[in-house]
Amino acid sequence: MGDNVSNVRRLARRSRAANSDSSLRCLEAQREKPVERQAAGSPAPSRAGSFTPPPPGAGFKGVATLSVLAAAGALALAIGRGPVVRSAPLPDGGILPEFALTDHLGQPLTRESLRGSVWVASFIFTRCAGQCPVMMAQMAAVARAFAGEPQLRLVAITVDPAHDTPEILAAYAGRLGIADGRWRLATGSPEAIAALAREGFTLGISNGGPPEEPITHSVRFVLVDQAGRIRGSYDATDTPAMRRLHQDAQRLLR
């Protein structure tokens, strides 16, 4: 298991080094301050990389991706859920605005449809060759650690909706071996997704970059409670941050 955990960490470091993070740091500094300010005493936001998708049709290499997910399973065991640590109340980043998306099964996904569940949100895209595979592996680790919690949901929203249709997302889920009904891979209009990322989650996203870097987005996971309120933001490439996510999700699920 130690080797697999090391593999995930090395992959995260290589991805961060390979992807220029200057534009995203600027975006995240502007967009994420409202949430970070409310978490008194929390660590400063870590740096996140930008993403450069491969040419259309390149996709993921199935064996490599499954290896990452297998390593993430080992990381989930290494992180562990453990006892809930009592501490200060979780930050309250405010309630999310209403939104209307469509998931990989062709079903509507809204704030109301997720009401009553604790959920972890992320922004990814299927052609991402940077840190999206690491992010999805970490989401899989969360799913495994909370395998007995039917009220936990995992929501991955594409930032490339022109390409990532429900059918593309369903095929992507199949390649990653996602069969757990708690997952929702979602798409929608570019305007709706941009508004949700920036105004709802206060995460940076830019779709107007140069050809070698057309989509820039955050690598942070956002924890949302049963009422649709933001309760934490976590760097998906940082192991201590992921430990905090596990602990905070446990607290909400009690």
Predicted confidence at residue 63, as pLDDT, reads 35
- Tell whether the torsion through CA atoms of 98, 100, 103 and 105 is positive or negative: positive
Predicted confidence at residue 82, as pLDDT, reads 53
- Full DSSP string of 3-61: HHHHHHHHHHHHHHHHS--HHHHHHHHHHSHHHHHHSTTPPPPPP---B-PPSTT----
Q: Which structural domain range is residue 133 located in? A: 2-253
Q: What is the CATH number of the domain that holds 196?
A: 3.40.30.10
On whether the pTM is more than 0.85, the answer is no
CA angle 50, 43, 196 (to 5 degrees): 50
What one-letter code names the amino acid at 158?
T
Rounded distance between C-alpha atoms, residue 160 and residue 15, angstroms: 20
Residue 30 has pLDDT above 60, yes or no: no
213-248: per-residue pLDDT in tens?
A: 568 899 999 999 999 999 999 999 999 999 999 999
Residue 41 has pLDDT above 70, yes or no: no
167-198: per-residue pLDDT in tens?
A: 999 999 999 999 999 999 999 999 999 999 99
Looking at the structure of the chain, the number of domains it has is 1
CB 156 within 8 A of CB 81: no
More confident residue, 165 or 38: 165
86-135: per-residue pLDDT in tens?
A: 578 999 999 999 999 999 999 999 999 999 999 999 999 998 887 899 99
Secondary structure letter of residue 196 according to DSSP:
I
199: closest CA among 26, 22, 34, 47?
34
